[in-house]
């Protein structure tokens, strides 16, 4: 089934010059970019995006990180896009993520793990409406 998913290339991806590398992987897989924006978010936007995590111990440094510089937000579309993007991203902890995945190849951190992908159809709908309210 064709799905849309919200992806973030987090500030570490921009800082490290890995935007092209990561976007190329999504495009090579066959996913379509239907929206894309370079953006520097504030704490309120971080809290809205990570609403499910705001009470967690790891959240304050995560908020500092995601607001530390510009990121690239995009919507990808394709068959089973939500699960496909999660598989391409790899496990949350870059140290444990499998080689061949974005995090497994390019991240050595549990926090600075380069990418975000929506984790369910409900999350995708919420996150796409949050980041791209004008997307039809």
Ligand X SMILES: Nc1ncnc2c1ncn2[C@@H]1O[C@H](COP(=O)(O)OP(=O)(O)OP(=O)(O)O)[C@@H](O)[C@H]1O
Out of 9, 82, 117, 128, which residue is the one contacting ligand X (CB under 6 A)?
A: 117
List Cα–Cα distances, 95 to 43, 70, 83, 102, 127, in angstroms: 27, 24, 21, 12, 27
List Cα–Cα distances, 40 to 9, 26, 65, 101, in angstroms: 12, 22, 11, 26
Per-residue binding string, ligand X, 67-96, x by CB under 6 A, is: -------------------------x----
Active site residues: 116
What residue 113 binds from Mg ion, ligand X, none (CB within 5 to 8 A, per partner kind)? ligand X
Q: Which residue is nearest to Mg ion (CB)?
A: 119
5 is in an annotated binding site: no
List Cα–Cα distances, 92 to 1, 39, 88, in angstroms: 25, 23, 11
Put the strands of the sheet holding 71-79 in their side by side order: 32-39, 71-79, 2-9, 115-117
From 27-35, 37-45, 69-77, 105-113, span contacting ligand X (CB under 6 A): 105-113
Nearer to ligand X, 41 or 134 (CB): 41
Sign of torsion over alpha carbons 50, 13, 27, 37: positive
Nearest distance from C-beta of residue 101 to ligand X, angstroms? 11
Nearest distance from C-beta of residue 136 to Mg ion, angstroms? 25
Classify 103 as helix, strand or coil: helix
Out of 6, 14, 62, 124, which residue is the one contacting ligand X (CB under 6 A)?
A: 62
Residues in contact with ligand X by the rule CB under 6 A? 53, 58, 62, 92, 110-111, 113, 116-117, 119
């Amino acid at each position: 089934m064709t799905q849309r998913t919200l992806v973030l290339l987090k500030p570490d991806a921009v800082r490290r010059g890995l935007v092209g590398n990561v976007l190329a992987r999504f495009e090579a897989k066959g996913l379509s970019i239907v929206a894309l924006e370079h953006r520097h978010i504030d704490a309120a936007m971080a809290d809205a995006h990570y609403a499910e995590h705001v009470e967690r111990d790891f959240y304050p440094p995560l908020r500092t990180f995601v607001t530390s510089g510009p990121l690239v937000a995009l919507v990808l579309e394709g068959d089973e896009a939500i699960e496909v993007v999660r598989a391409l991203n790899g496990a949350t902890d870059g140290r444990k993520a499998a080689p061949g995945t974005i995090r497994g190849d390019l991240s050595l951190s549990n926090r600075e793990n380069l990418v975000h992908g929506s984790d369910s159809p409900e999350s995708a709908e919420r996150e796409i409406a949050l980041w791209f309210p004008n997307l039809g």
